[in-house]
Structure 1
Amino acid sequence: MPLIDISIARGRTPEQLRALIDGVHRVAETTVDAAPENITVIVREVEPAHWARGNTTITERHS
């Protein structure tokens, strides 16, 4: 029963997020032989101002 938890910066379209879920779901099916009904995918969107690497937020990098 794979539980796949994805954190991604907010800003993608609903279509992009749906494609991400679909792609990850398919990979879980084929790589670990998981039954489709047992795969859970969670996408957590994080505000760019709340996501930092190297003490610089995504918002600051794109300013």
Structure 2
Amino acid sequence: MLNMKGSVHMPFVTIELLEGRTPEQKRELMEKITKVVCETVNVPAERVHVFIEDLKKDHYAVAGKFMSDPKE
């Protein structure tokens, strides 16, 4: 991906996950996402920025129920 001046764009990827993943799981996810972005948009790995945002279970709800609420 080249811009008008010929420099390479920096892809930014943000992944939101519920808290609780291990650092090893996050590392593997970041490595795989980086590889796919490099192959898909033809940029070197050094240009790919991956951010993981851990969502607290009491900051996220589905159908009005927090993910931290006891399951019925």
- Give TM-score, length-normalised by structure 2: 0.77
Q: What CA deviation, in whole Å up to 9, does each residue of 1:30-52 have, x standing for no partner? A: 11112111100000111111111
CA RMSD of aligned residues (A): 1.5
Q: Which runs of 5+ in 2 are unaligned?
A: 1-9
Point out 4+ residue stretches in structure 1 off by more than 4 angstroms.
none
Query: What one-letter code is carried by the residue in structure 1 that aligns with 2:54?
Result: E
Alignment partner of 1:12 is 2:21: yes
Which residue is 1:56 aligned to?
Answer: 65
Partner residue of 1:38 out of 39, 47, 51 = 47
Equivalenced residues, count: 63
Ranked by relative contact order (alpha carbons within 8 Å, sequence separation 6 or more), the top structure is 1
Radius of gyration: which is bigger? 2
Q: Which runs of 5+ in 1 are unaligned?
A: none
Percent of residue pairs identical: 29
Higher share in helix:
1
Greater alpha carbon shift after TM alignment, 20-29 vs 51-60 = 51-60
- Given the superposition, is the C-alpha separation of residues 62 and 40 from structure 1 closer, same or farther in structure 2, using an over 3 Å criterion? farther
- Give TM-score, length-normalised by structure 1: 0.87
